[in-house]
Amino acid sequence: MPIQTPESSNTSFFAKTIPNTLALPCQADHAFVLNDESELLVLQSALMPNESYKVIGSASNLVLPSHLHDRVILVALQGIEVIQEDEASALVAVAAGQSWHEWVQIALAAGWHGLENLALIPGTVGAAPVQNIGAYGVEVSQNIEHVRVWDFDAGAIRQLSRKDCQFSYRESLFKQPQGQRLLILSVCFRLAKRPAWRPVLDYPDLKSLGADGALVTPQMVFDRVVAVRRHKLPDPKDTPNVGSFFKNPVVNQATVESLRQRYPDLVAYPQADGSQKLAAGWMIDQCGWKGRRLGAVGMHHRQALVLINAENAQAADVLALADAVKKDVLETFWVTLDIEPNCWI
């Protein structure tokens, strides 16, 4: 079925308040709401050649300033298209403005599996490949076949393969300079169907589902991930946040061995290339930041990796706390933390 999108009345840029899950006050001086791909030529003509712009889905992974002076494109494209399906897998294209968690639910109900570990991550489908979102041992890039984009330099739609997207841990082409003139329109997923699907249960929160993965169903994985996330992570609707605020740092084996001499309980996860991924939340907790505030912001009392807006914070408050946490972790563990959300400050 073709991707269905609502009719659009948008023709130009206009001033707009930008809602965001961190609840920071932000006003865009020039915003364009993209509801339909038929508007792409209008959008192209509204931008000056080589003019910079920002792209926003649900603003669930952004630290925003009080004013955005650049042009802002708000992606509201909706719809799902089944391209190919057989007994083993399905190839499905999903529009960039679709809610990520709703898409995971739809895929699960349709019998298309592989995204269960990524349930309840806030944001849109179009934002997922930008950050190469990941959780509980799964990265979205593992299930991406290709990404359709609008190339502003060429004035045309392009299709990028998984390799073209240059995915790595929380990174992609779309975060690099050469990807800044590409607007994601849809993402094509190749998802397994049972019995070809295999659960990923490497993380402690999922191991209790059972040692025999053959007895675990996709619904069981989905339900557990949702339950764990709801227990550990605050709902942005109630407690403004952008989820994990820092990346889990990846270090070599020698660094882990050295750290374990001082911190026997150090939490680290072996990676396929021989490196180890450290648990940033554990280190932040050891530094005393779990549940601690600095002015209008703080680190959440159940998950030290989550920075929350506790009381009408501004972007400067967020960055001040981030700097303080990074400083303490560096002084304690000699490990540098990188901020995970995009900071447009």
What average pLDDT does this structure show over 229-242?
94
- Residue 258 is among the residues annotated as catalytic for this protein: no
Answer whether CATH 3.90.78.10 is correct for domain 235-343.
yes
Using CA of residue 340, residue 341, residue 344, residue 345, what is the dihedral sign?
A: negative
d(CA 197, CA 190): 12
- CATH for the 80-230 domain, from 3.50.50.60, 3.30.70.270, 3.30.465.10, 1.10.357.140: 3.30.465.10
Mean pLDDT across the stretch 195-213?
85
| Residue 170 bears catalytic tag | yes
The active-site residue out of 71, 148, 170, 190 is 170
The predicted pLDDT at position 4 comes to 35
CATH architecture of 14-75: 2-Layer Sandwich (3.30)
The mean of the pLDDT values for the chain is 94
Q: What is the mean pLDDT of residues 139-159?
A: 97
126 and 78 in contact (C-beta within 8 Å)? no
What tokens were used for 181?
């003139």
In this prediction, residue 208 carries a pLDDT of 86
Q: Averaged over 44-49, what is the pLDDT?
A: 91
- What would the two tokens of residue 153 be? 């330099």
Residue 8 confidence class, pLDDT cut points 50, 70, 90: very low
* Residue 9 scores a pLDDT above 50: no
Confidence of residue 138 (pLDDT cuts 50, 70, 90): very high
d(CA 206, CA 223): 10
Question: Which residue ranges make up each domain of the chain?
Answer: 14-75, 80-230, 235-343
- Write out the E strands in 76-217: 80-85, 89-95, 134-135, 138-139, 144-151, 156-161, 182-192
Catalytic position from the list 39, 116, 139, 340: 340
pLDDT value of residue 42: 95
Is 292 among the residues known to form the active site? Answer: no
User: Catalytic: which of 58, 89, 172, 244?
Assistant: 244
CB 64 within 8 A of CB 24: yes
The per-residue pLDDT for 210 is 73
- The Cα 201–Cα 136 span in angstroms is 8
